[in-house]
C-alpha cells in the first residue's frame, strides 16, 4: 500500500473539536463517513480544483464541497463582485436590494419552470419551502418523495428527536420505478398535495442513475391528471447538468423547482422557483421568512456565477471533461477483475463496489478509498464526486491512472 499521510495537525484539531462541537464536525463531514484515520478532517485553504489540509497535504478536490464548486475555489471575478458589494453597498439590511430582481429575472430566463422565485440559503430550506407550496396550493397534506431532500423533520433519514406525526404523511417511492409511484398515487390521490423527486437519482452509497425513458414524463402526466404539484429537487443537477437544470436537459418541466449548490459556486444560496400560480401562495396563503434570506452577498455571487458560466461556456467544458474522464474510468473498470461499477458520468462520477455474499465489497471499498486519499485525490466512499471547470485534463488523467493502479493492487491482494 501507499505510505500513510501525515495527519498530525488534523488529528490534534479533531481531539480539540470533540470538546467543543457535538461529534467534532457536523453530519456528513464526520470522519466515519470517510476512512477514519486516513482522511484529513480539517482543511486550510483551496484554490481552483485543489484543496489543502492543515498538515499541508494537497489534494485534487473531486468532492467539490459536496457540489457547490462548479467553476473552482476562490474565483477572483466572483469574489471581487462580492467584495465590491460589501465595501460599496452593504449586504444585510431591513429591506431587500435591487439585486434580488436582477437575479430573479435571470433565473426566469434560463429555468423552464421559473416565473417567480423565492431565495433561501440551503437546500433543506428550499425543499421544505417547496413542500409547503404544494400543501398550501392544493389544501392537501400527503407528499410522495424520492431522493435526499435535506435534514428537516419531514424528510430526514435519522429520526431521532422527531415525533412520528411530523413525517407520517410522507411516503417514499423508488427512483426509476414508475409502478411504485403509481401505486402510492392511487392509494393517496384524494389527499395528495405533491411529489418531490430528484430528476437524477443519487441514493446514498449506491450508483448514480439517469432517468429511464418515460419516468419523469409519466410523473408529469400523473400530476396533470390528478392535480398534485410536481416538484423537482434540482439542488445537485441545476447549474451542473445544464444551466436550465435537468428539466431542460431531459425536456420535462415541473411545477416547482428547488435550486442550490452550484448556483453560488460556494456562496450560500438556494432558490425555490416555479409557475406564478404555485409561487403566489407565498403572497398571503403561506409564510416564509428569514433574517438572512434577503442577504445580497450570495445573490451577487450567483448572478456573477451565471454570467461567467454563460460567457465561458463552463458547462460545455465540464461536460466534455466529464465525458473524457468517464470513458477512461469505464475502460479501467471493464479491464479490472475487481467487482466494481462506475456511474454518474459526465457530471457526478462515482465508483462503487458491488455487494457480495461474503461482504468482500466492504473491505474493497475501504482499501480502495484509503489508497485514493493517500494518492492525494479527495473523494468520498459513500457519495459521488463532481467535475469542476478548474480540474485540468492532467488532474483527471492522474485520477484515472491512480484508480487503475489501485484496482490492480486490490486484484492482486484479494482475487
User: What's the pLDDT at 220?
Assistant: 98
Give the tens place of pLDDT for each residue, 204-241: 889 999 999 999 999 999 999 999 999 999 999 999 99
Q: Tell me: pLDDT of 303 over 90.
A: yes
pLDDT tier at 415 (50, 70, 90 boundaries)? Answer: confident
The arithmetic mean of pLDDT across residues 320-342, rounded, is: 98
Q: Distances in Å between the alpha carbon of 378 and those of 58, 196, 348? A: 9, 31, 14
Q: In this structure, are residues 118 and 275 in contact, taking their beta carbons and an 8 Å threshold?
A: no
**Domain extent listing, the chain:** 8-73+314-414, 76-311
User: What's the pLDDT at 204?
Assistant: 84
Q: At what angle do helices 393-414 and 314-335 cross, to 10 degrees?
A: 20
pLDDT tier at 352 (50, 70, 90 boundaries)? Answer: very high
Q: Class assignment of domain 76-311?
A: alpha beta
Q: How far apart are CA 307 and CA 300, in angstroms?
A: 11
> What single string gives the DSSP state of each residue in 247-276?
HHHHT---SEEEE-GGGGTTS--EEEEE-H
Higher pLDDT, 205 or 12: 12
What is the percent of the chain where pLDDT is above 70? 100
User: What's the pLDDT at 12?
Assistant: 98
Backbone angles phi, psi at 274, to 5 degrees: 180, 180
Give the tens place of pLDDT for each residue, 253-280: 999 999 999 999 999 999 999 999 999 9
User: What's the pLDDT at 159?
Assistant: 96
The arithmetic mean of pLDDT across residues 53-64, rounded, is: 98
State the cell numbers at 145. 418523495
Q: Tell me: pLDDT of 126 over 90.
A: yes
User: What's the pLDDT at 168?
Assistant: 97
Q: Class assignment of domain 8-73+314-414?
A: alpha beta
Q: How far apart are CA 211 and CA 209, in angstroms?
A: 6
Amino acid at each position: 500500500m501507499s505510505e500513510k499521510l501525515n495527519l498530525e495537525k488534523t488529528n490534534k484539531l479533531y481531539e480539540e473539536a470533540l470538546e467543543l462541537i457535538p461529534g467534532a464536525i457536523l453530519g456528513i463531514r464526520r470522519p466515519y463517513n470517510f476512512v477514519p484515520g486516513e482522511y484529513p478532517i480539517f482543511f486550510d485553504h483551496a484554490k481552483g480544483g485543489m484543496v489543502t489540509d492543515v498538515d499541508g497535504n494537497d489534494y485534487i478536490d473531486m468532492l467539490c464541497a459536496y457540489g457547490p464548486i462548479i467553476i473552482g475555489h476562490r474565483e477572483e471575478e466572483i469574489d471581487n463582485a462580492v467584495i465590491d458589494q460589501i465595501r460599496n453597498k452593504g449586504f444585510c439590511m431591513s429591506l431587500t436590494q435591487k439585486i434580488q430582481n436582477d437575479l430573479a429575472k435571470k433565473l426566469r430566463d434560463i429555468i423552464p419552470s421559473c416565473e417567480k422565485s423565492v431565495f433561501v440559503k440551503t437546500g433543506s430550506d428550499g425543499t421544505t419551502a417547496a413542500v409547503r407550496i404544494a400543501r398550501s396550493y392544493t389544501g392537501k397534506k400527503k407528499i410522495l418523495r424520492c431522493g435526499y431532500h435535506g435534514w428537516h423533520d419531514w424528510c430526514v433519514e435519522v429520526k431521532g428527536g422527531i415525533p412520528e406525526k411530523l413525517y407520517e404523511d410522507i411516503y417514499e417511492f423508488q427512483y426509476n420505478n414508475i409502478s411504485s409511484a403509481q401505486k402510492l398515487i392511487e392509494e393517496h390521490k384524494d389527499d395528495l398535495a405533491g411529489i418531490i423527486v430528484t430528476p437524477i437519482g443519487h441514493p446514498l452509497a449506491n450508483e448514480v442513475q439517469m432517468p429511464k425513458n418515460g419516468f419523469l414524463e409519466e410523473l408529469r402526466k400523473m400530476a396533470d391528471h390528478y392535480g398534485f404539484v410536481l416538484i423537482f429537487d434540482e439542488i445537485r443537477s441545476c447549474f451542473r447538468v445544464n444551466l436550465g437544470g435537468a428539466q431542460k436537459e431531459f425536456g420535462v418541466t415541473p411545477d416547482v423547482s428547488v435550486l442550490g449548490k452550484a448556483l453560488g459556486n460556494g456562496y450560500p444560496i438556494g432558490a425555490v422557483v416555479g409557475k406564478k400560480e404555485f409561487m403566489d401562495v407565498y403572497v398571503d396563503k403561506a409564510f416564509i421568512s428569514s433574517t438572512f434570506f434577503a442577504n445580497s452577498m450570495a445573490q451577487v455571487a450567483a448572478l456573477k456565477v451565471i454570467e461567467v458560466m454563460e460567457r465561458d461556456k463552463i458547462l460545455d467544458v465540464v461536460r466534455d471533461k466529464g465525458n473524457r474522464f468517464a470513458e477512461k474510468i469505464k475502460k479501467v473498470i471493464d479491464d479490472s477483475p475487481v467487482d466494481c461499477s462506475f456511474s454518474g458520468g459526465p457530471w457526478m462520477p462515482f465508483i462503487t463496489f458491488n455487494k457480495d455474499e461474503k461482504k468482500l465489497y466492504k473491505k474493497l471499498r475501504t482499501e480502495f478509498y484509503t489508497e485514493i486519499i493517500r494518492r492525494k485525490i479527495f473523494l468520498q466512499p459513500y457519495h459521488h464526486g463532481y467535475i469542476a471547470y478548474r480540474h485540468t485534463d492532467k488532474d483527471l488523467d492522474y485520477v484515472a491512472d491512480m484508480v487503475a493502479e489501485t484496482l490492480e493492487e486490490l486484484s492482486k491482494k484479494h482475487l
